[in-house]
Structure 1
Amino acid sequence: MFLKRLSVINFKNIPGANLEFSSRVNCFVGDNGAGKTNLVDAVHYLSMCKSSLTMTDGQSVRHGCDAFLLEGEYLSDGGKIERVVCGFRRSGGKTVKRNGKEYEKLADHIGLVPVVIVSPADAFLVSDAADERRRYLNAFLSQLDRDYLTAIVKYNHVLGERNRLLKRPDWPGGEELLDVLDQQLVHWGETVSRKRRELVERLAPQVAEYYRILSDDRERIELSYHSELNDRPFAELLAAAREKDRISQFSTTGVHRDDLRMRIGGYPLKKYGSQGQQKSFLVALKLAQYRLAAAAAGEKPILLLDDLFDKLDMQRVEQLIRLVSGPEFGQIFITDCNKVRLESILERSGEPYTLMRVEGGEPCPAEAGGRKPGEVSPENGEEGR
């Protein structure tokens, strides 16, 4: 799957843009705050119906405007054209259309255009609390598995009902209702736990392999899934915690407390990993995610590399470019503030690319680079390799 054309109106600091892209490497360069990340985020929004950053839809509207509009035209690996339009209006909310037909549920769109993003915001997966890592697992699995998306939505709904009941101990029939809610929580929670565990078991060896390549085999890392449900049935955990839950007035056990654990050399990555090691781990995680997403969807996801050089040395960046230049990967978007630095690495890789300068939310005409004799201009969506 690759994005052929993108139209942006009043999204963040971009007043308007109509862009055409290469099916391989596309680069945005410009100063900090120019709008490079916003263009990448527009690509992410068209896939996931939300920003990749912790921003509401209202915050994504350009200052002084009432709405934004994003439109993308895609070509699938099988040659099928897909047109996706995402719009948001402060007074009317969000709409998403596929080939002119509006979705009844936004969740039905997730997975149509698979996307994987590597950005400085990923640092939260290491430094922040476990809810960030659960949010990552939820977003990833929701692209791969409709049943998982249903299960996590249902689980969170039942969990909310259970917590409200725990805050009302005098509720008539509360004990019987709590029994019913616990049965539902167990049903959906066990599905969530099983699918998360299976995913991490598939991810772990691939993350380790990508990290080995990026680090030139200098360190060993581990990825594992921690859950109370790994040790005891969920029904037993809920029964044992009921009195504690009554006192606390919220649910103290369940998959909403699970975590994704990251280690380097046998020690927690957060405490013992350098910034470069942490970033390399996260890049390896996202590349492994890409591989699983491609296998599940039967389509190569779009890969977004935002602020490519953030906390990575030149050697690791060059290793990364070599990796993603291979046939396993498809369309790639890269942002960087240093045009000369980015071009020098891409030229050494031999990978054809197009480059756009972004200034004040305005992308300037594309430049082509790394092109081999006889290659077709990327404006028609084809490139020789």
Structure 2
Amino acid sequence: MYLQKLQLSNFRNYENQFYEFSEGLNCIVGKNGSGKTNLLDAVYFLSLCKSSIHSQDALSIKFDEDFAQIEGRFGEELITCSMQRGGKKSFFYDKVPYEKLSEHIGKYPVVLIAPDDTDLIRDGSETRRKLFDGILSQIDAEYLKLYLSYNKSLDQRNSLLKQFAEHNYFDEDLVRIYSDQLLATGKKIFELRNNFVTQFLPLFKKHYDELSDNREMVEINYNSEWADENFEEIFLKSIGNDLAAQRTTKGIHKDDYEFWMEGKPVKKFGSQGQRKAFIMAIRMAQFDILTQIKGFKPILLLDDIFDKLDEKRIKKLVEMIDSKVFGQVFLTDARPKRTKELLKGIDVRFLEIG
């Protein structure tokens, strides 16, 4: 499974461009601001039905245009994404529209390693939940269904809590409906997340050991209120706090994945190099677990990776690419001369942007 052809119409800074790719390494070179990252984002969008850069679809439409389209061919399969400014986003499989976008996610898995990945360490728990929710959604359609259902119930319950505060009344039976929905789906999500971390950890530790020469002991701890066997009772008793806060204060939407190194939080005590190695190991483990469960290799997107790694880790990555550890790879770099030197002797398709 690989992306053979890509047609972009009014996507970001692309007006109407067509590209063909190899099933191995595709190196996209060009000056900063030329659109290298945007091209990777188009591949990401085609796989996951959303941008890796913007949360609003309208920002992916070229300035002063009313629509954008991304069309990609994976073997005999044609995938099309159409976006209308102020309108709805649509996805098509061989020109037949999906009823739900969730039906598409996971068919063409992708792993992105980007310059801002270390935000996973610096930012709050929401950023880390999004990372692991994204991996699980590509792996398990049932997880994605539960995740979407939970968030819908959460939004409805929060909206109800705000209405209670605004109109100074309370309907216990009504709020209990949404509470029961959150408890039912939340328990299943907790179990799936917990099982996933058990599978994921050995892969992550293996890659970190390779990247750091076994220098530090690392851990990812899944921290959830659901680990308390009395959580359902605790959740229902928290209604007073929920009414005061006008939002649901407990549940799996508060979970966190804590990153540890030598018994200390990486966020506070990890060096810049250690943090980079930590995140790189997470991404490599993501690649491995997707490959294991899907039975084929995901597309790997490497955005300006040579600027973010030291010489030793660059050498290791190039060796992995050369030994065909990965399937289709897209790599961007602003320094073509350096890139060609680093990739000397490797079969690579170069595309110059701008």
Q: TM-score range by the shorter chain?
A: over 0.9
State the shift of 1:173 in Å: 7.0
Matches of residues 1-385 of structure 1 in structure 2 within 5 Å?
A: 1-75=1-75, 81-167=76-162, 168=164, 174-347=171-344, 350-359=345-354
Unpaired runs of 5+ residues, structure 2, are none
Amino acid at match of 1:30: G
More helix by share: 2
Unpaired runs of 5+ residues, structure 1, are 76-80, 360-385
Distance in structure 1 (CA, Å) of the matches to 2:188 and 2:7: 39
Match of 1:372 in 2: none
Question: Is residue 204–residue 224 contact of structure 1 (8 Å, CA) maintained in 2?
Answer: no
State the shift of 1:237 in Å: 2.3
State the shift of 1:317 in Å: 1.4
Amino acid at match of 1:133: R
- CA deviation string 1:36-85 (max 9, x = no partner): 1011111111101111113421111111211111111113xxxxx21101
Secondary structure of 1:309 counterpart: helix
Question: Is residue 190–residue 234 contact of structure 1 (8 Å, CA) maintained in 2?
Answer: no
- CA deviation string 1:234-260 (max 9, x = no partner): 312212322222222221111010011
- CA deviation string 1:293-339 (max 9, x = no partner): 12222221100011112431011111122234434420000011112
Question: Is residue 182–residue 235 contact of structure 1 (8 Å, CA) maintained in 2?
Answer: no
TM-score (norm 1): 0.87
TM-score (norm 2): 0.94
Question: Is residue 114–residue 302 contact of structure 1 (8 Å, CA) maintained in 2?
Answer: yes
Distance in structure 2 (CA, Å) of the matches to 1:159 and 1:351: 50
Q: Percent identity?
A: 39
After TM superposition, the runs of 4+ consecutive aligned structure 1 residues lying more than 4 A away are: 169-173
Question: Is residue 186–residue 234 contact of structure 1 (8 Å, CA) maintained in 2?
Answer: no
Amino acid at match of 1:280: A
Secondary structure of 2:106 counterpart: coil
Distance in structure 2 (CA, Å) of the matches to 1:138 and 1:287: 16
Distance in structure 2 (CA, Å) of the matches to 1:55 and 1:177: 32
Change (3 A) 1:328 1:273: same
Amino acid at match of 1:342: T
Question: Is residue 54–residue 60 contact of structure 2 (8 Å, CA) maintained in 1?
Answer: no
Query: Which is further off, 192-201 or 336-345?
Result: 336-345
Amino acid at match of 1:268: P
CA RMSD of aligned residues (A): 1.7
Distance in structure 2 (CA, Å) of the matches to 1:120 and 1:55: 18
Count of aligned pairs between the two proteins:
352
